[in-house]
């Protein structure tokens, strides 16, 4: 009888909150599909006006026509580009796809800014600029020189194994230019075709070591998802398969091979969540899929946090379909469950119209569906809670909470508070094939 009363309460109290959530989520999907169509012809080193509203700050003395959905602009033509967050009245949710060549010899880094996100282009280079990685192979090290000559003034020394960014060459490729000097081609190796580098005069003065948007400043909203089913603001980056690239984001050097979500916090820290592949940072530290770190300045030094589980709950709603490579999100409980201290009156702090909360004080199994015949996703100790977004009648006839897509808990193992009556009643997902 208790279960029947619960189900009746759900059906009659879903109301306008649920309708607004569905409308909001449906609108976001509409934006994603419209962006896909509008930006289908995006080329290398270009940005596309995917969905309003987008603002662009052009370089000095550059005039841009970039105010309508589908407009294209060269990355080298602007200093900054910004998208706006979801606005229910205007039905706007800014979105900008970009293709960044960076230091790749083939293909592009796909970038997607969405929500309240601003990207600063820290390179003054033209779209034709090429920067390629070289490695010093001379066992005793080498010298960078002010001119491409063996007896020219020494600028500084480099060590065997050092990786440098090449930005130019002599016409015969006998000497290679990096930002602050020249190095003999006999002392380095590269997997890239160095003939792609621009030909420079011996006395040329070029400071750029980054292609357009290979070095960027980033600022985003955080915890600003307008409704269930829509992600928080951010910037997605994806490299071609089995390809790594060197980037600089908010002054930190990153080497990415895979798919990365970037966000910033209100106190100016940068948040990196690796969705697939690998990321190297802080001179050799490695971030693995489903891990997240934060970094920011303390004085003049960048400090990095230890890796933690990424926000799987938010990642499930990211517009990943706009990226060229498909992949399966790594499972995590980040953003799905949260710790609390039992016996402190935790649930009493929630009002009747608060978001639904389900907490447990005993050890439980979180499963892939509503019933004990679904596989266990992870066992969790007591002292955690989650925010269910739906419920279902399980194969055992009991009520189960859905804490996130593919994460379920038996309601009988929890205590609940808040507006749980507004949650939709959904059909159980199909059992996985054995």
Least confidently predicted of 220-229, 370-379, 412-421? 220-229
What is the Cα–Cα distance from 342 to 355, expressed in whole angstroms?
A: 19
Question: Mind listing the pLDDT tens digit for each residue in 304-361?
Answer: 999 999 999 999 999 999 999 999 999 999 999 999 999 999 999 999 999 999 999 9
The answer to whether residue 29 is domain-embedded is no
Residues 144 and 85 in one domain: no
Tell me, what's the pLDDT at 22?
A: 54
The answer to whether residue 146 is domain-embedded is yes
Question: Mind listing the pLDDT tens digit for each residue in 2-14?
Answer: 444 344 333 333 3
Residues 241 and 299 in one domain: yes
Structure tokens at 257: 């091979």
Residues 413 and 266 in one domain: no
Residues 155 and 274 in one domain: no
Q: What predicted TM-score, i.e. pTM, was given to this entire model?
A: 0.82
**Residue 312 sits in a domain of what CATH number?**
2.60.120.1440
The answer to whether residue 44 is domain-embedded is no
Structure tokens at 86: 């979801």
The answer to whether residue 86 is domain-embedded is yes
Report the candidate in 74, 308, 327, 329 with the shortest Cα–Cα distance to residue 213.
74
The answer to whether residue 8 is domain-embedded is no
Residues 192 and 251 in one domain: no
Going by pLDDT thresholds of 50, 70 and 90, the confidence category of residue 207 is low
Structure tokens at 278: 């690998």
Structure tokens at 394: 């399980």
Residues 315 and 370 in one domain: no
Cβ distance 131 to 176 under 8 Å? no
Cβ distance 133 to 193 under 8 Å? no
Cβ distance 196 to 105 under 8 Å? yes
Total count of domains within the chain: 3
Going by pLDDT thresholds of 50, 70 and 90, the confidence category of residue 206 is low
Residues 312 and 365 in one domain: no
The answer to whether residue 354 is domain-embedded is yes
**Mean pLDDT within 142-164:** 94
The answer to whether residue 362 is domain-embedded is yes
**Residue 185 sits in a domain of what CATH number?**
2.30.30.40
Domain that holds residue 317: 58-121+213-322
Residues 377 and 416 in one domain: yes
The answer to whether residue 389 is domain-embedded is yes
């Amino acid at each position: 009888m208790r279960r029947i009363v619960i189900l009746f309460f759900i059906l009659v109290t879903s109301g306008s909150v649920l309708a607004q959530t569905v409308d909001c989520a449906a609108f976001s999907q509409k934006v994603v599909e419209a962006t896909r169509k509008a930006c289908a012809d995006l080329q290398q080193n270009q940005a596309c006006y995917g969905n309003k509203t987008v603002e662009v700050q052009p370089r000095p003395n550059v005039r841009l026509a970039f105010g309508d959905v589908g407009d294209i602009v060269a990355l080298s033509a602007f200093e900054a580009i910004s998208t706006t967050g979801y606005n229910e009245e205007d039905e706007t949710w800014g979105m900008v796809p970009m293709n960044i060549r960076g230091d790749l010899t083939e293909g592009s880094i796909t970038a997607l800014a969405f929500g309240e996100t601003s990207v600063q282009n820290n390179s003054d280079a033209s779209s034709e600029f090429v920067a390629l990685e070289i490695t010093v192979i001379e066992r005793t090290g080498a010298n960078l020189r002010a001119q491409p000559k063996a007896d020219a003034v020494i600028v500084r020394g480099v060590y065997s194994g050092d990786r440098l960014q090449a930005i130019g060459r002599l016409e015969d490729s006998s000497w290679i230019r990096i930002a602050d000097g020249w190095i003999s081609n006999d002392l380095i190796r590269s997997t890239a075709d160095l003939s792609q580098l621009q030909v420079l005069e011996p006395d040329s003065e070029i400071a750029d070591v980054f292609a357009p948007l290979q070095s960027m400043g980033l600022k985003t909203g955080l915890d600003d998802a307008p409704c269930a089913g829509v992600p928080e603001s951010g910037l997605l980056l994806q490299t071609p398969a089995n390809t790594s690239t060197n980037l600089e984001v908010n002054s930190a050097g990153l080497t990415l091979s895979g798919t990365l979500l970037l966000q910033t916090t209100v106190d100016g820290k940068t948040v990196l969540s690796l969705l697939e592949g690998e990321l190297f940072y802080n001179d050799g530290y490695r971030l693995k899929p489903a891990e997240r770190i934060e970094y920011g300045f303390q004085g003049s030094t960048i400090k990095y946090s230890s890796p933690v589980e990424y926000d799987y709950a938010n990642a499930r709603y990211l517009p990943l379909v706009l990226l060229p490579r498909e992949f399966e999100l790594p499972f995590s409980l980040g953003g799905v469950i949260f710790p609390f201290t039992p016996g402190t009156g935790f649930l009493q702090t929630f009002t009747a119209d608060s978001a639904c909360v389900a907490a447990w004080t005993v050890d439980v199994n979180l499963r892939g569906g509503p019933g004990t015949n679904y596989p266990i996703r992870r066992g969790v100790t007591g002292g955690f809670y989650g925010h269910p977004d739906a419920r279902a009648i399980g194969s055992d006839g009991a009520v189960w909470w859905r804490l996130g897509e593919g994460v379920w808990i038996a309601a009988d193992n929890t205590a609940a508070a808040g507006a749980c009556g507004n949650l939709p009643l959904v059909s159980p997902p199909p059992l996985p094939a054995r």
